[in-house]
Structure 1
Protein backbone atom coordinates (compact mmCIF):
# COMPACT_ATOMS: atom_id res chain seq x y z
CA UNK A 1 0.00 0.00 0.00
CA UNK A 2 1.44 3.36 -1.03
CA UNK A 3 1.16 6.05 1.64
CA UNK A 4 2.29 9.58 2.17
CA UNK A 5 4.16 10.50 5.33
CA UNK A 6 1.09 11.61 7.28
CA UNK A 7 1.99 10.65 10.85
CA UNK A 8 -1.10 8.46 11.56
CA UNK A 9 -0.01 6.18 8.72
CA UNK A 10 3.06 5.29 10.80
CA UNK A 11 1.13 4.59 14.01
CA UNK A 12 1.92 1.30 15.74
CA UNK A 13 -1.67 0.07 15.26
CA UNK A 14 -1.43 0.66 11.50
CA UNK A 15 1.92 -1.14 11.29
CA UNK A 16 0.55 -4.04 13.37
CA UNK A 17 -2.53 -4.34 11.16
CA UNK A 18 -0.37 -4.31 8.04
CA UNK A 19 1.92 -7.00 9.39
CA UNK A 20 -1.04 -9.15 10.49
CA UNK A 21 -2.67 -8.83 7.05
CA UNK A 22 0.46 -9.34 4.94
CA UNK A 23 0.33 -5.75 3.66
CA UNK A 24 3.54 -3.92 2.83
CA UNK A 25 3.47 -0.21 3.63
CA UNK A 26 5.47 1.84 1.14
CA UNK A 27 5.97 5.47 2.12
CA UNK A 28 6.44 8.13 -0.52
CA UNK A 29 9.48 10.36 -0.17
CA UNK A 30 8.97 13.71 1.52
CA UNK A 31 7.66 16.17 -1.08
CA UNK A 32 6.96 13.24 -3.41
CA UNK A 33 3.16 13.45 -3.40
CA UNK A 34 3.23 13.76 -7.20
CA UNK A 35 4.19 10.05 -7.23
CA UNK A 36 0.77 9.14 -5.85
CA UNK A 37 -1.90 8.84 -8.58
CA UNK A 38 -4.68 10.10 -6.33
CA UNK A 39 -2.87 13.41 -5.92
CA UNK A 40 -3.27 14.13 -9.64
CA UNK A 41 -6.98 13.37 -9.35
CA UNK A 42 -7.28 15.81 -6.45
CA UNK A 43 -5.35 18.44 -8.40
CA UNK A 44 -7.73 18.10 -11.35
CA UNK A 45 -10.74 18.29 -9.04
CA UNK A 46 -9.38 21.43 -7.41
CA UNK A 47 -8.56 23.03 -10.77
CA UNK A 48 -11.83 22.24 -12.54
CA UNK A 49 -14.34 22.45 -9.68
CA UNK A 50 -12.95 24.75 -7.02
CA UNK A 51 -10.32 27.24 -8.20
CA UNK A 52 -11.58 30.71 -8.99
CA UNK A 53 -15.06 30.05 -7.65
CA UNK A 54 -17.09 31.75 -4.98
CA UNK A 55 -19.72 29.22 -4.04
CA UNK A 56 -22.47 30.61 -1.86
CA UNK A 57 -22.99 27.42 0.13
CA UNK A 58 -21.55 24.03 0.87
CA UNK A 59 -24.40 22.54 -1.17
CA UNK A 60 -23.28 24.50 -4.25
CA UNK A 61 -19.69 23.42 -3.70
CA UNK A 62 -20.72 19.79 -3.20
CA UNK A 63 -22.77 19.95 -6.40
CA UNK A 64 -19.76 21.28 -8.35
CA UNK A 65 -17.54 18.53 -6.96
CA UNK A 66 -20.15 15.86 -7.74
CA UNK A 67 -20.57 17.19 -11.28
CA UNK A 68 -16.82 17.01 -11.88
CA UNK A 69 -16.63 13.46 -10.49
CA UNK A 70 -19.53 12.34 -12.71
CA UNK A 71 -17.95 14.02 -15.75
CA UNK A 72 -14.58 12.41 -15.00
CA UNK A 73 -16.03 8.95 -14.36
CA UNK A 74 -17.94 8.88 -17.66
CA UNK A 75 -14.63 9.39 -19.48
CA UNK A 76 -12.37 7.28 -17.26
CA UNK A 77 -10.30 4.45 -18.64
CA UNK A 78 -8.39 1.84 -16.66
CA UNK A 79 -4.81 2.72 -15.83
CA UNK A 80 -2.93 -0.26 -17.20
CA UNK A 81 0.72 -0.81 -17.86
CA UNK A 82 1.70 2.51 -16.30
CA UNK A 83 5.22 3.57 -17.33
CA UNK A 84 6.10 0.30 -19.09
CA UNK A 85 9.64 1.48 -19.90
CA UNK A 86 10.38 2.87 -16.44
CA UNK A 87 13.72 1.91 -14.92
CA UNK A 88 11.85 1.32 -11.67
CA UNK A 89 10.39 -1.85 -13.18
CA UNK A 90 13.90 -3.28 -13.36
CA UNK A 91 14.39 -2.61 -9.62
CA UNK A 92 11.17 -4.33 -8.55
CA UNK A 93 9.22 -7.47 -9.26
CA UNK A 94 6.20 -5.48 -10.52
CA UNK A 95 5.07 -7.21 -13.71
CA UNK A 96 3.87 -5.23 -16.68
CA UNK A 97 0.12 -5.68 -16.94
CA UNK A 98 -1.50 -6.54 -20.22
CA UNK A 99 -3.69 -3.79 -21.64
Structure 2
Protein backbone atom coordinates (compact mmCIF):
# COMPACT_ATOMS: atom_id res chain seq x y z
CA UNK A 1 0.00 0.00 0.00
CA UNK A 2 2.78 2.43 0.88
CA UNK A 3 4.58 1.80 -2.42
CA UNK A 4 1.42 2.61 -4.36
CA UNK A 5 0.75 5.68 -2.23
CA UNK A 6 4.30 6.93 -2.75
CA UNK A 7 3.74 6.55 -6.49
CA UNK A 8 0.59 8.65 -6.28
CA UNK A 9 -1.71 5.71 -7.05
CA UNK A 10 -5.03 4.80 -5.43
CA UNK A 11 -7.80 2.29 -6.16
CA UNK A 12 -10.49 4.07 -8.21
CA UNK A 13 -13.56 3.29 -10.28
CA UNK A 14 -13.48 3.85 -14.03
CA UNK A 15 -15.39 6.93 -15.18
CA UNK A 16 -17.10 7.59 -18.45
CA UNK A 17 -15.93 10.49 -20.57
CA UNK A 18 -17.11 12.15 -23.73
CA UNK A 19 -16.07 15.23 -25.66
CA UNK A 20 -18.64 17.84 -26.58
CA UNK A 21 -18.97 18.41 -30.35
CA UNK A 22 -20.73 21.73 -29.74
CA UNK A 23 -19.08 24.43 -31.90
CA UNK A 24 -20.15 27.02 -29.32
CA UNK A 25 -18.83 25.02 -26.38
CA UNK A 26 -16.50 27.69 -25.01
CA UNK A 27 -19.03 30.54 -25.10
CA UNK A 28 -21.79 28.42 -23.52
CA UNK A 29 -19.47 27.01 -20.86
CA UNK A 30 -18.17 30.46 -19.93
CA UNK A 31 -21.73 31.76 -19.59
CA UNK A 32 -22.80 28.90 -17.32
CA UNK A 33 -19.68 29.17 -15.16
CA UNK A 34 -20.13 32.95 -14.82
CA UNK A 35 -23.69 32.50 -13.60
CA UNK A 36 -22.55 29.83 -11.17
CA UNK A 37 -19.61 31.81 -9.80
CA UNK A 38 -21.49 34.91 -8.66
CA UNK A 39 -25.05 36.27 -8.54
CA UNK A 40 -25.98 38.38 -11.59
CA UNK A 41 -25.51 42.15 -11.14
CA UNK A 42 -29.24 42.70 -11.62
CA UNK A 43 -30.09 40.51 -8.63
CA UNK A 44 -31.66 37.80 -10.75
CA UNK A 45 -32.04 34.19 -9.68
CA UNK A 46 -29.86 31.53 -11.28
CA UNK A 47 -31.86 28.30 -11.59
CA UNK A 48 -30.36 25.09 -12.97
CA UNK A 49 -32.91 22.64 -14.38
CA UNK A 50 -32.82 19.02 -15.50
CA UNK A 51 -34.70 15.74 -15.25
CA UNK A 52 -33.63 12.54 -13.52
CA UNK A 53 -35.00 9.28 -14.86
CA UNK A 54 -36.80 7.34 -16.01
CA UNK A 55 -37.32 5.68 -12.62
CA UNK A 56 -39.41 2.53 -12.27
CA UNK A 57 -40.97 0.92 -9.21
CA UNK A 58 -38.84 -2.15 -8.66
CA UNK A 59 -36.63 -3.52 -5.89
CA UNK A 60 -33.36 -1.62 -5.93
CA UNK A 61 -30.09 -2.94 -4.55
CA UNK A 62 -28.12 -0.84 -2.14
CA UNK A 63 -26.29 -0.95 1.17
CA UNK A 64 -27.37 -0.57 4.77
CA UNK A 65 -27.00 -1.85 8.32
CA UNK A 66 -28.00 -5.48 8.89
CA UNK A 67 -27.13 -8.37 11.25
CA UNK A 68 -23.77 -9.97 10.46
CA UNK A 69 -23.94 -12.43 7.56
CA UNK A 70 -27.64 -11.64 7.09
CA UNK A 71 -27.83 -8.93 4.42
CA UNK A 72 -31.19 -7.66 3.28
CA UNK A 73 -32.68 -9.66 0.43
CA UNK A 74 -33.88 -8.25 -2.85
CA UNK A 75 -37.04 -9.89 -4.14
CA UNK A 76 -37.43 -10.92 -7.75
CA UNK A 77 -39.76 -8.90 -9.94
CA UNK A 78 -41.34 -10.03 -13.20
CA UNK A 79 -44.18 -7.59 -13.85
CA UNK A 80 -43.91 -3.81 -13.66
CA UNK A 81 -47.32 -2.27 -14.04
CA UNK A 82 -46.68 1.09 -12.39
CA UNK A 83 -45.02 2.85 -15.31
CA UNK A 84 -42.11 5.23 -14.87
CA UNK A 85 -41.56 8.67 -13.39
CA UNK A 86 -39.12 11.52 -13.86
CA UNK A 87 -37.77 13.72 -11.09
CA UNK A 88 -37.73 17.30 -12.34
CA UNK A 89 -35.21 19.36 -10.43
CA UNK A 90 -34.69 23.12 -10.24
CA UNK A 91 -31.68 24.19 -8.19
CA UNK A 92 -31.34 27.80 -7.03
CA UNK A 93 -27.58 28.13 -7.35
CA UNK A 94 -27.00 31.06 -5.01
CA UNK A 95 -29.74 30.33 -2.47
CA UNK A 96 -28.70 26.65 -2.36
CA UNK A 97 -32.30 25.45 -2.56
CA UNK A 98 -33.52 22.45 -4.53
CA UNK A 99 -37.12 22.21 -5.77
CA UNK A 100 -38.46 19.03 -7.31
CA UNK A 101 -41.57 17.60 -8.94
CA UNK A 102 -42.36 13.98 -9.81
CA UNK A 103 -43.94 13.56 -13.25
CA UNK A 104 -44.84 10.58 -15.49
CA UNK A 105 -43.42 12.27 -18.59
CA UNK A 106 -40.99 14.99 -19.59
CA UNK A 107 -42.80 16.49 -22.55
CA UNK A 108 -42.59 20.14 -23.40
CA UNK A 109 -45.91 20.79 -21.64
CA UNK A 110 -44.60 19.14 -18.46
CA UNK A 111 -41.41 21.20 -18.53
CA UNK A 112 -43.38 24.37 -19.18
CA UNK A 113 -45.69 23.68 -16.22
CA UNK A 114 -42.68 23.21 -13.94
CA UNK A 115 -41.04 26.38 -15.27
CA UNK A 116 -44.26 28.29 -14.55
CA UNK A 117 -44.33 26.93 -11.00
CA UNK A 118 -40.79 28.10 -10.36
CA UNK A 119 -41.61 31.51 -11.85
CA UNK A 120 -44.46 31.96 -9.34
CA UNK A 121 -42.12 30.99 -6.47
CA UNK A 122 -39.68 33.81 -7.26
CA UNK A 123 -40.72 37.49 -7.08
CA UNK A 124 -41.80 38.72 -10.51
CA UNK A 125 -39.41 41.67 -10.34
CA UNK A 126 -36.42 39.29 -10.37
CA UNK A 127 -35.16 37.95 -13.67
CA UNK A 128 -34.56 34.21 -13.82
CA UNK A 129 -31.51 32.77 -15.57
CA UNK A 130 -32.68 29.25 -16.42
CA UNK A 131 -29.81 26.85 -17.17
CA UNK A 132 -30.83 23.71 -19.07
CA UNK A 133 -29.55 21.19 -21.59
CA UNK A 134 -30.47 20.87 -25.25
CA UNK A 135 -33.31 18.35 -24.95
CA UNK A 136 -35.86 19.39 -27.56
CA UNK A 137 -38.67 19.28 -24.97
CA UNK A 138 -36.85 22.06 -23.07
CA UNK A 139 -36.91 24.45 -26.03
CA UNK A 140 -40.43 24.28 -27.43
CA UNK A 141 -42.01 27.43 -28.92
CA UNK A 142 -44.37 27.61 -25.92
CA UNK A 143 -41.45 27.55 -23.48
CA UNK A 144 -39.58 30.22 -25.43
CA UNK A 145 -42.69 32.41 -25.58
CA UNK A 146 -43.38 32.01 -21.86
CA UNK A 147 -39.77 32.80 -21.00
CA UNK A 148 -39.72 35.95 -23.13
CA UNK A 149 -42.93 37.21 -21.52
CA UNK A 150 -41.90 36.48 -17.94
CA UNK A 151 -38.35 37.79 -17.50
CA UNK A 152 -36.68 34.42 -17.98
CA UNK A 153 -33.43 34.01 -19.90
CA UNK A 154 -32.94 30.47 -21.19
CA UNK A 155 -29.27 29.51 -20.90
CA UNK A 156 -28.11 26.41 -22.78
CA UNK A 157 -25.36 24.10 -21.62
CA UNK A 158 -23.09 22.77 -24.38
CA UNK A 159 -24.07 19.52 -26.09
CA UNK A 160 -22.96 16.43 -24.12
CA UNK A 161 -21.81 18.59 -21.21
CA UNK A 162 -24.26 17.78 -18.45
CA UNK A 163 -21.38 18.08 -15.96
CA UNK A 164 -21.61 21.85 -16.42
CA UNK A 165 -25.20 21.94 -15.16
CA UNK A 166 -25.14 22.81 -11.42
CA UNK A 167 -28.24 20.73 -10.68
CA UNK A 168 -26.65 17.44 -11.75
CA UNK A 169 -24.69 16.81 -8.55
CA UNK A 170 -27.91 17.02 -6.51
CA UNK A 171 -29.44 14.02 -8.26
CA UNK A 172 -26.78 11.68 -6.85
CA UNK A 173 -28.00 11.95 -3.22
CA UNK A 174 -31.57 11.33 -4.46
CA UNK A 175 -30.38 8.15 -6.15
CA UNK A 176 -28.42 7.08 -3.08
CA UNK A 177 -30.89 7.91 -0.30
CA UNK A 178 -34.29 7.64 -2.02
CA UNK A 179 -33.97 5.24 -4.95
CA UNK A 180 -31.31 2.73 -3.88
CA UNK A 181 -31.90 -0.01 -1.30
CA UNK A 182 -35.67 0.50 -1.49
CA UNK A 183 -38.79 -1.34 -2.63
CA UNK A 184 -41.75 1.08 -2.77
CA UNK A 185 -45.28 -0.28 -2.97
CA UNK A 186 -46.55 2.62 -5.11
CA UNK A 187 -45.64 6.07 -6.39
CA UNK A 188 -47.26 7.76 -3.40
CA UNK A 189 -44.76 6.04 -1.13
CA UNK A 190 -41.89 7.05 -3.41
CA UNK A 191 -43.12 10.66 -3.54
CA UNK A 192 -43.35 10.77 0.27
CA UNK A 193 -39.76 9.54 0.64
CA UNK A 194 -38.58 12.01 -2.00
CA UNK A 195 -40.34 14.92 -0.29
CA UNK A 196 -38.78 13.99 3.06
CA UNK A 197 -35.34 13.89 1.49
CA UNK A 198 -35.75 17.30 -0.14
CA UNK A 199 -37.07 18.83 3.09
CA UNK A 200 -34.03 17.52 4.95
CA UNK A 201 -31.66 18.55 2.17
CA UNK A 202 -32.96 22.13 2.18
CA UNK A 203 -33.09 22.35 5.97
CA UNK A 204 -30.46 23.64 8.40
CA UNK A 205 -29.21 20.18 9.41
CA UNK A 206 -28.31 18.61 6.07
CA UNK A 207 -26.53 15.30 6.63
CA UNK A 208 -22.80 15.20 6.04
CA UNK A 209 -23.22 12.30 3.58
CA UNK A 210 -25.52 14.43 1.41
CA UNK A 211 -23.04 17.30 1.38
CA UNK A 212 -20.21 14.92 0.52
CA UNK A 213 -22.08 13.38 -2.41
CA UNK A 214 -23.04 16.80 -3.75
CA UNK A 215 -19.46 18.05 -3.45
CA UNK A 216 -18.01 14.92 -5.05
CA UNK A 217 -20.12 15.34 -8.17
CA UNK A 218 -19.96 19.11 -8.58
CA UNK A 219 -18.95 20.46 -11.96
CA UNK A 220 -15.33 21.20 -12.76
CA UNK A 221 -14.70 24.94 -12.80
Larger strand share, 1 or 2 = 2
Q: Same fold (TM over 0.5)?
A: yes
Q: Which secondary structure state, in structure 2, belongs to the residue aligned with residue 37 of structure 1?
A: coil
Give the match for residue 60 of structure 1: 189
State the match for 2:198 in structure 1: 69
- Residues 66 and 30 of structure 1: CA distance in aligned 2, closer, same or farther (over 3 Å): same
Aligned with residue 8 of structure 1, among 137, 150, 166: 137
The match for 1:49 is 178
2: CA distance between counterparts of 1:62 and 1:50? 11
CA deviations 1:28-56 (Å, max 9, x no partner) are 12222222222222221121111121112
Are 1:28 and 2:157 an aligned pair? yes
CA RMSD of the aligned region, Å? 2.3
How high is the TM-score relative to the length of structure 2?
0.30
Aligned to 1:40: 169
Higher relative contact order (CA 8 A, sep 6+): 2
Task: Name the CA distance, whole Å, in 1 between partners of 2:159 and 2:173.
Answer: 22
Q: Which moves more between the two structures, 7-16 or 33-42?
A: 7-16
Partner of 1:89: none
Q: How far off is 1:72 after superposition?
A: 0.9
Within 1, Cα distance between the matches of 2:162 and 2:195? 24
Count, aligned residues: 77
Gaps of 5+ in 2: 1-129, 207-220
